[in-house]
Amino acid sequence: MAGRHSTLREQRRAETHRLIQAHAVRLFVARGYDGTTVNDVAEAAGVSAMTVYRHFPTKEDLVLADRNGPLVAERIAASPAGQPLVRRIGGALVESARSLTEGDDRFLLARLRLMIATPALRARHLDNHYVLQRAIVDALGDEAADPDAAFRATAAASACLAVMHTALVRWAEDDGRADLPDLIATALAAAFDIPGPTPLGASPPPA
Amino acid sequence: MAGRHSTLREQRRAETHRLIQAHAVRLFVARGYDGTTVNDVAEAAGVSAMTVYRHFPTKEDLVLADRNGPLVAERIAASPAGQPLVRRIGGALVESARSLTEGDDRFLLARLRLMIATPALRARHLDNHYVLQRAIVDALGDEAADPDAAFRATAAASACLAVMHTALVRWAEDDGRADLPDLIATALAAAFDIPGPTPLGASPPPA
DNA sequence: CCCTAAGTGTTAGTAACTATCAGGATGGTA
DNA sequence: TACCATCCTGATAGTTACTAACACTTAGGG
């Protein structure tokens, strides 16, 4: 049996993964998503096409790779149950965005722009939200008990995610200069007509 | 020049169009979307594969074919400008849904179920909402003038569309027994915490 | 009665995947 | 150190969605 922590193999695999994705995004930005074949990506990364498919099930996954869904669900479950649904969900999304922008902003922005501009990627990205939406409803726990409550929770979750996506688009258009959590909070406030933490374009409150 | 109303040609073309789509949806329901090739559809409809592609640019379009987007935009533009955004957009969506359910419900339900169950179709369907969202913001006219207002309008539109989609899913799960406009209105009320026209599951108000 | 153009079929080609087989590197074990 | 199971990778062949180009048939207008 392979032990729980194979070091060199996992390391190599992770490096190959990163290498392929980096070259893929670079080429997509340079020649366009549709103008770049998976073979091009494989060749640029110095691997075979099969290896690309082993690391990324589809060409679209070379750009998408959202994996902070569970994080959002955790925050939802940890939020106080008394507040209105939209506030619980929206709050979790705002906080998750904070940890999202901690990594490499250039890379994230490039991927985001591809997702927005390329129909195929945009569609898959929105569908990922669809999956995340179910996770959010499940994380609400007791809300998902009776069908009507689950329906209301689903409606609220889908609305919040859509609004977050709007903020993401705006953030990308702005080249990532704005504060993303703040943008999302503002968008949520605008859509749901609740007093948001800040008016449009302002800085986050000191506390 | 071809005149403004070529009768026989247009008629034949429309009939072929309808025939292909009918056979496609039938086969998709029977064998699954991924388990049916475009060649299967073409053979069942008695045409060549090329003809299928001439009528439907992609395999997904055999199921999607949403073409009441402009209708929504019209209603938006015709709505009074004083009301809050969510009410203007939501109202237009509810009314559009009324005319949507006037056709063949069985066919619409079959297509809708395919769209919900098949990832590729679901993704494209959500992306169509993304396009519709831009049309809605444009229809709001003066709201789209300054960027901040456009941002708020986009957030509201995306939220409303996401909520409508939730209602569509619920409607399909319910086999179309519920009143769709009513369902949408209820979902909007739940998401935006505004007093909806009816509580869950009730009938539409007499007036 | 032509003549343009639309609709269709056929063929050949690209590209995203999938299945399968074979070789080489890795990691634990005797 | 020697052995062996397992993972990673490469190469090949095949399926399917989709496109381009060409030829044929037929509707519709002069």
DSSP string across A142-180: GGGSSHHHHHHHHHHHHHHHHHHHHHHHHHHHTTT-S-H
Specify the nucleotide whose C1' lies closest to residue A15 (CA). Answer: D8
Q: Could you give the 3-state DSSP secondary structure of residue B100?
A: helix
When CB atoms are compared, the residue of A122, A124, A166 closest to B155 is: A166
pLDDT of the residue at A199 = 45
Query: Closest-CA residue in chain A for B119?
Result: A127
Asked whether residue B36's C-beta has any atom of DNA/RNA strand D within 7 A, the reply is: yes
- CB pair distance less than 8 Å for A130 and B127: no
Q: Is B190 on the interface with A (CB under 8 A)?
A: yes
ipTM: 0.89
DSSP H or E run through A116: helix A105-117
Q: Could you tell me the distance in Å between the CA of residue A11 and the C1' of nucleotide C10?
A: 52
What percent of chain A shows pLDDT beyond 90? 75
The C-alpha atoms of residue B184 and residue A10 are separated, in whole angstroms, by 49
Q: Could you tell me the distance in Å between the CA of residue A79 and the C1' of nucleotide D22?
A: 66
Q: CA separation (Å) from B18 to B24, B80, B189? A: 10, 38, 37
- Least confident span in A54-68, A182-196, B60-74, B189-203: B189-203
pLDDT mean across residues, chain A: 89
What percent of chain A shows pLDDT beyond 70? 89
Residue nearest to nucleotide D5 (CA to C1'): A1
Q: Is B126 exposed, middle or buried (0-12, 13-18, 19+ CB in 10 A)?
A: buried
DSSP state of B47: S
**Mutation site, A34, A130, A133, A161, interface B, largest B CB count within 10 A:** A130
Q: Could you give the 3-state DSSP secondary structure of residue B194?
A: coil
Mean pLDDT of B56-71: 92
pTM of the model: 0.90
Mean pLDDT of B149-153: 94
Footprint on protein of nucleic strand C, Cβ below 7 A: A 2-3, 6-9, 12, 36-39, 49-50, 53, 57-60; B 2, 9-10, 12-13, 16, 46-51, 54-55
- H helices within B79-146, ranges in order? 85-100, 105-117, 119-139
Which of A179, A168, A177, A187 lies closest to B151, judged by CA?
A187
Whether residue A133 contacts residue A66, with contact meaning beta carbons closer than 8 Å, is answered with no
